[in-house]
Structure 1
């Protein structure tokens, strides 16, 4: 249909005859299907305004054809803008009523799915009561209706108020039912929706009470569903924050399965998400205890050896979280610390920062781990990290060196690596956290006459704040080690 004919058909939308209206809508639908350019043309020809009246037409065929057009046209951002201005949302939502035929449900839900990609569209859908009929349509026998409805719901639940309403509608069981769909796109959208709503504690409880964990674990156990494993793990990660859920997973033997799955998966994003799930859960002391009983440390050490940088970072962060457990801290003495030291040398500075954080947590108040880090040639690697462009990496490395320097033999070794020259840069940093960590490192290492002489020589002409900060920590430190010498000012 060329432009002149399209203009004529658009004029036909103003007809009072139902047969003409139905045929005009059918022609416009076919025209709109052919691409974005045609959708823009229909907008320019003024087709949208008369169509908004036809979606509530008393004739079923006219109403159906008009709704089909809107389902297609709403993928165009300019059309969406005009639809919002014309306030047609209540008319579109009305097409989701149970009495309407499936094809109207399909295209009305498609229109809403398209409209929900923008914030204002979400607000209008919610305010016109769109969420309740969309939840009802998740049980539709038609897969396209299900797909459009769950996609729209996924967009809507990015907003907290929509999540609250979704809980009130008791939508959890029907969303979980979508995980059994034969269509991967429906399963994926259901998982993505669960990933958002289970950020709220109430939704996690509802998922647990609806046996949702069984559905999620079945997905993980199905190798043919590996495209869904990453999203399934994201939902499980949220659930592991809930102590009762964690206990349930542990009691049913599912936690061991989960760790084994993470350790043996060949998909980097799966391993990364599994480590992130462990990190999230490990912020709780009871969860850390359960993880330790299930020997999570072995899994994390395996993940440190991944070829994927994202997995290495996530595993290091999980070790940082688990190091709050004394048993875990002891485990990593022989397994884990040597691998983390190797990661300090990574070309990816984000990897070295995460490794340095893990080492900082593992060596704090733990002389055995500090020795293990030194034994793994950690001193040289840590001093090299002091020149990193990432402030966090420098601060973490300085903390590990401070922890090591609490022991005389390690302190001497650190001094022999020219620590004072390496620490000058961090001491002059504009980042006060990095500056204070570096100052503590100087305080911990400058504990003999020779080291103090070196410090005075390096900072003799420096009257700026870092040197005064260093001196403050230095004097406190000298008193702590009971080597305070009043003759050395």
Structure 2
């Protein structure tokens, strides 16, 4: 070797190059650089990957395929602040991809990311670490990991960060976390309410919106509502509602108010401060469908409490709800109908709605929207229960035909409540006859065949209410409605079975129907029911007795005698003793003969006594 070569070979191994700039257009090369021992190279590589990943979801998938996530995970906890910051930025942007999040869960990165929320970290690290957690908190498994690893407390602390992006990411992550009840309780215990209320004053609408959505979830807990009230949270909410520029926040603000109105104390406070009048006026005057709908929902929630109903009635809430029934939005109509249903528990409100709201509710029965139709049917059912005047109002509003049409609706709730309204109306004979004239018995056959126990029960009750009319029984018989009615006697549901027994008892009032019911097996089923202490009910015995009293041939066959009130008409015949009622050994000829003779003696005993008395009198003279 020459002298220069020898000299080069003797260069110390630790000698370094001058700064070297490497350019690469291939992502794979940059990913390889993530394994470099040099901090400057690592920081540069992370920065390049961040820019690449920011360009679209396809690039994130490419980086995932190149194995970039695992080395980045190690760099998130790197001792060099710049490397740590840049790696966290990559994690924050890549976590928006579902496949990346799946791998992040497998690697259990939440603990390392939560550590980046520490106060000593750079504000940029806070931004992208909270962004990563916000993306991951969408899935339930990650929610649990973030909560169990103590992520909620630093996130709440960051709600007071000077950086709006940090606030936005933190409150978004908290919003996802509080979907779970444990996190809701923890938010309350960690005193997050004041910090969340401060976000309502933010100049950034997205931050305000996320804060309101978070309140919408956590205010479902009574303890949180109390804290919210104590921190003047209602004032913040009503300021938003009164500000036209915040109309994009009104829907979410109303959702929070709706939860708060469940408490009587809050309702009284809102009434005393004039907030309730503002809310009512706001609902009536607004032209935004979602606002109208949420206002009606707020009234519905409040109306579940008796004291709240009194307060709402004092504020003449009935006029507001009737106004909402006339809107063009189906959601608002359905919500208003639901509110009317809740308010019906107040008798004064029930009377007020009878005058103002029944005609509009009847019209809604013909709506093409199934939700609206169901909500209207429920409202009418509640309005007409124990209220003859409202039942008459439904008839005056020409509601009988729409109600009968609704018996074939798609939703079980619609059918059941329509049947209830018809049953409530039948307590008045003129209305019952009017209902019968519209062919109700033909329409009730389909609900009798329903698989829903509530529909079955209400349909059977309607038959019981209408079956006292001979024409109605004939119509039901002609429509083949007796067979599904008899099948309901087999029901395991106590109410269905009870109402079916009631309907059978009423329908068995004439011989033709009684005979047909016996042919369909009603007699055997009722006998079986009456033998069971658990299935027997107030109407099962009456139904059996009515069937036999209007089918004397069957009664004589089974009982072996007739009562003094039983009048034999043309068509009676004795076709022999029913085997179920034979005395002694089943089928034994002697036992059968004895039974027959006893029956004859029991039947002719009064006649024999009469003739014997006459003979004794004549002989005495």
Question: Match of 2:111?
Answer: 90
Unmatched tracts of structure 1, length 5 or more: none
Question: Match of 2:530?
Answer: none
The answer to which of 444-453 and 33-42 deviates more is 444-453
State the SS of the aligned residue for 2:256. Answer: helix
Q: CA deviation at 1:470?
A: 4.7
The CA distance in 2 between the partners of 1:371 and 1:2, in whole Å, is: 87
Give the counterpart of 2:505 among 475, 480, 488. Answer: 475
Contact 1:459–1:467 under 8 Å retained in 2: no
Contact 1:427–1:466 under 8 Å retained in 2: no
Alignment of 1:63-82 (within 5 A): 63-82=84-103
Aligned residue pairs, count = 486
Q: CA deviation at 1:466?
A: 4.9
Alignment of 1:243-258 (within 5 A): 243-258=264-279
The CA distance in 2 between the partners of 1:343 and 1:164, in whole Å, is: 42
The CA distance in 2 between the partners of 1:368 and 1:431, in whole Å, is: 30
Question: Match of 2:246?
Answer: 225
Contact 1:444–1:474 under 8 Å retained in 2: no
Question: Match of 2:15?
Answer: none
The CA distance in 2 between the partners of 1:476 and 1:238, in whole Å, is: 47
Give the counterpart of 2:188 among 156, 167, 177. Answer: 167
The CA distance in 1 between the partners of 2:473 and 2:241, in whole Å, is: 59
TM-score relative to the length of structure 1: 0.94
CA deviations on 1:88-122 (whole Å, 9 max, x unpaired) are 22221111111112111111111111111112222
The CA distance in 2 between the partners of 1:250 and 1:24, in whole Å, is: 61
Q: CA deviation at 1:464?
A: 5.7
The CA distance in 2 between the partners of 1:123 and 1:3, in whole Å, is: 40
Higher alpha-carbon Rg: 2
The CA distance in 2 between the partners of 1:356 and 1:106, in whole Å, is: 52
State the SS of the aligned residue for 2:117. Answer: coil
Q: CA deviation at 1:82?
A: 2.1
Q: Structure 2 vs 1, CA of residues 31 and 382 (structure 1 numbering), >3 Å: closer, same or farther?
A: same
CA deviations on 1:120-143 (whole Å, 9 max, x unpaired) are 222221122111111000001110
Give the counterpart of 1:321 among 334, 342, 347. Answer: 342
Note if 1:407 corresponds to 2:428.
Answer: yes
Give the counterpart of 1:180 among 201, 211, 215. Answer: 201
Alignment of 1:84-483 (within 5 A): 84-459=105-480, 462=483, 465-466=486-487, 470=500, 472-473=502-503, 475=505
Q: Structure 2 vs 1, CA of residues 356 and 14 (structure 1 numbering), >3 Å: closer, same or farther?
A: same
TM-score relative to the length of structure 2: 0.75
Unmatched tracts of structure 2, length 5 or more: 1-21, 490-498, 510-537, 540-544, 552-621
CA deviations on 1:264-311 (whole Å, 9 max, x unpaired) are 111101111111111112111111111111111011000100111111
RMSD of aligned residue pairs (Cα, Å): 2.3
Q: Structure 2 vs 1, CA of residues 125 and 432 (structure 1 numbering), >3 Å: closer, same or farther?
A: closer
Question: Match of 1:43?
Answer: 64
Contact 2:445–2:484 under 8 Å retained in 1: no
The CA distance in 1 between the partners of 2:67 and 2:297, in whole Å, is: 51
More RCO (CA 8 Å, sep 6+): 1
The CA distance in 2 between the partners of 1:359 and 1:23, in whole Å, is: 70
Contact 1:440–1:473 under 8 Å retained in 2: yes
The CA distance in 2 between the partners of 1:39 and 1:455, in whole Å, is: 68
The CA distance in 2 between the partners of 1:57 and 1:463, in whole Å, is: 75
Q: Structure 2 vs 1, CA of residues 471 and 111 (structure 1 numbering), >3 Å: closer, same or farther?
A: closer
Q: CA deviation at 1:71?
A: 1.0
Give the counterpart of 1:32 among 53, 64, 87. Answer: 53
